[in-house]
Amino acid sequence: MDSLLETLMRIDWDSLDHAYGRASDAPGQLLALVGDDPEAQSAAVGYLDGAMLHQGSVCSATGPFIRFVAAALADPATDVVVEDVLPWDAEPRPLRAALLEYLAIFVEACDLMRSDEELLREAHPAGRDEADLQRIRDAARACDWTLDPDPATRTPPPAALLEAAGDTGYRKAMAARDLLACREVVPDVHAAALPLITAAEPAVRIAAMTAAAYCLDHEALGHARAALIELITDTAVVSPDPAERATIACLLTSLGELPEQLLSDPHPGVRACAALAPGFAGDPRATSALVAALENPQEADHWFDRHLPGQEGWLHFDLARTLAERADDLDTVLPAALGLATLSFTLDYRNDLAPFVALAFPEPLTEHTVLTPAQRALLAALLEHRHLPFDETLCRRLLDS
């Protein structure tokens, strides 16, 4: 503890910022993370989420803070199960899993697909005086002002804050500098996550392999790609956990690999996730897996209790989009379209069902349209579930003919 405290105090945290201001409170949160108070550990994770990675963004203090979080993964104090790490946690889970999930969010926030050269140009914009940029930063940081939630007693922001907020070039320069500093920490995240891919708890393994895979876009980690692919592929062979195997299918796809063995997995969700790999376009096994999954899209959405790598909305959105992009005839995908008709509602229609309707009815319906059996089945389902992309009276007349 003394060594950690000494190391923490070598950093001038007061010169760094998180989402809510100066980061002088960071050492206390990091010490709590490796302490013996479960509530304080949970609070430290909340601090990591809210202050250091606020809405998936980074600040000047984020990089140094994450470097210590990555190092803390090897501390026995983090090898515990905690309750209520965050309000939306349904049940207790390993602290290391929570930390690794945030390390993956951190790596995503580093936007590694953009080049360092591009960020350097933004960080040091041509025609801007460095002394002026520092003047704006120092003046804004010197302001002692917070937003009062009560409009009746609220005071206007100081001029220095308004100048910093209104200067697009300044804001882009500071954001780029924060990103460049954070990118230096990505190899530390990879090194910390790698040993935990073989941890005993599935949740820790899943979070570790996800964080490690996200790191591979860093220019210093190209050499690590083949070894990580081999490691997670081997893990899929022995893992009894469908969520872990589905995660591996998604990660292998993101790394440009074909999760061949997972396309025949006993779990339908794993097969469906493997089928998302672009290399399986045109493979009847993949088509069958996607169609089968979408026959009951609500069930597919609840196969796994957390989002998989790359998943943003409901899982059935990803499955439907991929199947629609590959489909060239309605008959093959009709069971999926009928399943989606039972679940889709107005706000989701464009994300799931609409492409199948376009595939089924490439020409406008008229009084003289002769429906195929597949078209008839889908049109009946659309009406039954109150999806009305066409004139309802015309549709009913066609179905009665």
For residue range 281-331, what is the model confidence (pLDDT) as tens digits?
999 999 999 999 999 999 999 999 889 999 989 999 999 999 999 999 999
Residues 26-46: pLDDT tens digits? 999 999 999 999 889 989 999
Please give the C-alpha separations between residue 74 and each of 68, 95, 173, 313, 331, in angstroms, as whole numbers.
11, 12, 35, 33, 54
Residues 187-241: pLDDT tens digits? 999 999 999 999 999 999 999 999 999 999 999 999 999 999 999 999 999 999 9
- pLDDT for 365 beyond 90: yes
Q: Are 193 and 103 in contact (CB under 8 A)?
A: yes
The residue with tokens 């501390």 is: 75
CA nearest to 105, candidates 249, 238, 181, 214: 214
pLDDT recorded at residue 303: 97
Residue 348 pLDDT class (50, 70, 90 cuts) = confident
pLDDT recorded at residue 351: 87
CA nearest to 31, candidates 82, 85, 68: 68
Residues 87-102: pLDDT tens digits? 666 678 899 999 999 9
Residue 56 pLDDT class (50, 70, 90 cuts) = very high
Q: Are 250 and 232 in contact (CB under 8 A)?
A: no
Residue 113 and residue 61: Cα distance in Å, rounded? 22
pLDDT recorded at residue 90: 65
Helix axes 330-343, 373-384, angle to 10 degrees: 10
Grouping H, G, I as helix, E, B as strand and the rest as coil, residue 130 is helix
pLDDT recorded at residue 383: 94
CA dihedral 70, 74, 78, 80 (to 10 degrees): 130
Provide the percentage of residues in the chain whose pLDDT is more than 90. 87
pLDDT recorded at residue 361: 96
Provide the percentage of residues in the chain whose pLDDT is more than 70. 98
Residue 240 and residue 281: Cα distance in Å, rounded? 27
Long-range contacts of 49-53, Cβ-Cβ distance < 8 Å, separation of 24 or more: 49/86, 49/102, 50/19, 50/20, 51/18, 51/19, 51/20, 51/23, 52/18, 52/19, 52/26, 53/102, 53/105, 53/106, 53/109
Cβ-based burial of 139 (10 A; exposed 0-12, middle 13-18, buried ≥19): middle
The residues, any chain, with a CB within 8 Å of residue 132's CB and separated by 6 or more, are none
> What residue type is assigned to position 269 of the chain?
G
Q: Give the number of other Cβ atoms within 10 Å of residue 14's Cβ.
A: 13
Residue 5 pLDDT class (50, 70, 90 cuts) = confident
Q: Are 87 and 101 in contact (CB under 8 A)?
A: no
Average pLDDT, stretch 133-151? 91
Average pLDDT, stretch 385-391? 90
pLDDT recorded at residue 347: 81
Residue 186 and residue 188: Cα distance in Å, rounded? 5
